[in-house]
Amino acid sequence: MDFRTIAVLGGGAGARALAADLALQGCAVRMWDLPQFFTALTCLQQEPTLTATGVIQGQAALELVSGNLEMVVRDADFICVVTQALAHAQIAEALAPIVTADQCILVNPGSSGGALEFARVLHDRTAAKPVIAETSTLTHTCRIVSNREVLIRMRVGLVKMAALPASSTERVLGSLRSLLPGLRPARDVLETMLCNGNPIIHPTVMLLNTGTVERSGGRWQFYEEGFTPSVAAVVETLDAERIALGRALGLELLPEPEMSYRQGYSTHTDYLRAYRDGPGFQGLGGPDAMSHRYITEDVACALVTLLELGQVCGVPMPVAAAIAQLASTVSERDYVREARRGLRSLGLADLTPEQMLRFVQQGQCD
């Protein structure tokens, strides 16, 4: 096995699972997080060891846990960004003066456009052009058990990955495939963007269970209880809008439950049973407030992006618009107008669909 140096940026469950998995495979792993979140990692600074339990087990010794981004990133082969979409721009700004052209940034998950947002921010700030790749979904299903223990429930079985430009995808994949065997090449970052199921599922389940969210104190099961026949019907109709959008961009996307089946989450492929009964979806407690990232992140940074793409491509998305409208009302914000991660912040503003395709394939418009 190649010995690789990998910087993991982020401090949540996903970052810890990835760090532990790669360290246990022999990589030199370093961790860093944004100053406002770093306290979650301070206990690992003195003794940088993570315990992995679940499908991957062991004591993972990390090379370094530090709040100094430059030390963590220096000479790393891969810089893995494992955070909410809302943090991507800030991390990209912090990386701009540090990252070199021969490094690779992997945004895991891309959360519908992470690679594009990184590229746009870096492009504005540095001449270095590292390869930037994103995954369609997080590579690990996991949760934090304690300060030092992360439970890895599953290595996700089918994770689409694309680099920007797409011509670099195979090179990135060749380096990572042995470490993360679930990775599969996507045509480009438009495909990874459109293979993110979160904006299809999370806001819909939240809104159609608003009363439950706010009455529950968090004592409810997001999938087993949140999915009922009408909830599944709305998710299915919204997913059909996503698939139509993909078709307009030349992509034959799998329906979300089919994707969940292939990823190992579920044992059915219909929209109700896949989520309500899928083993990978069991026992995941639901939020206790509508200010949860299932709304703030998945509408602001992904559903709104799909809506903007729909407009450019001439694909009607009335259910997406309705969900975004109700989410905006609940949050007392206008997510559509804010366009927190709209086409402009992804560097895709004012492009035709054809120009977008050239951009993601070649890294430039024309």
Residue 285: phi, psi to the nearest 5?
-60, 150
The site for a second copy, by CB under 8 A, has a size of 31
Specify the residue, 46 or 337, whose C-beta has the smaller distance to a second copy.
337
Does the protein bind a second copy through residue 42 (CB under 8 A)? no
Tell me, rounded to whole angstroms, the distance of Cα 190 from its chain centroid: 13
CB of 122 to a second copy, least distance (A): 36
Nearest to 136 by CA among 116, 118, 159, 117: 159
Does the protein bind a second copy through residue 217 (CB under 8 A)? no
DSSP code per residue over 13-33: HHHHHHHHHHHHTT-EEEEE-
Q: What's the rounded Cα separation, in Å, for the pair 278 and 257?
A: 10
Residues 279-318 that bind a second copy (CB under 8 A): 290, 318
Does the protein bind a second copy through residue 237 (CB under 8 A)? yes
Specify the residue, 20 or 201, whose C-beta has the smaller distance to a second copy.
201
Where are the strands (E) in the chain, listed by range? 5-9, 28-32, 49-54, 58-61, 64-65, 78-81, 104-107, 131-135, 140-146, 149-155, 159-164, 183-185
Does the protein bind a second copy through residue 342 (CB under 8 A)? no
Does the protein bind a second copy through residue 93 (CB under 8 A)? no
Whether 88 sits among the annotated catalytic residues: the reply is no
Among 112, 212, 260, 266, binds a second copy (CB under 8 A): 212
Catalytic position from the list 202, 239, 288, 366: 202
- Among the listed ranges 62-70, 141-149, 224-232, 343-351, the one in contact with a second copy (CB under 8 A) is 224-232
The enclosing H or E element of 203 equals helix 198-207
- Among the listed ranges 118-126, 152-160, 203-211, 256-264, the one in contact with a second copy (CB under 8 A) is 203-211
Among 2, 3, 46, 229, binds a second copy (CB under 8 A): 229
Residue whose token pair is 């199921």 = 197
Whether 102 sits among the annotated catalytic residues: the reply is no
Collapse the DSSP code of 30 into the 3-class scheme (helix H, G, I; strand E, B; otherwise coil) and give the result.
strand
Tell me, what amino acid is at 16? R
> How many residues are there in the chain?
366
Catalytic residues: 202, 298
Residues that bind a second copy (CB under 8 A): 205, 207-215, 225-231, 233-234, 237, 290, 318-319, 321-323, 325-326, 329-330, 332
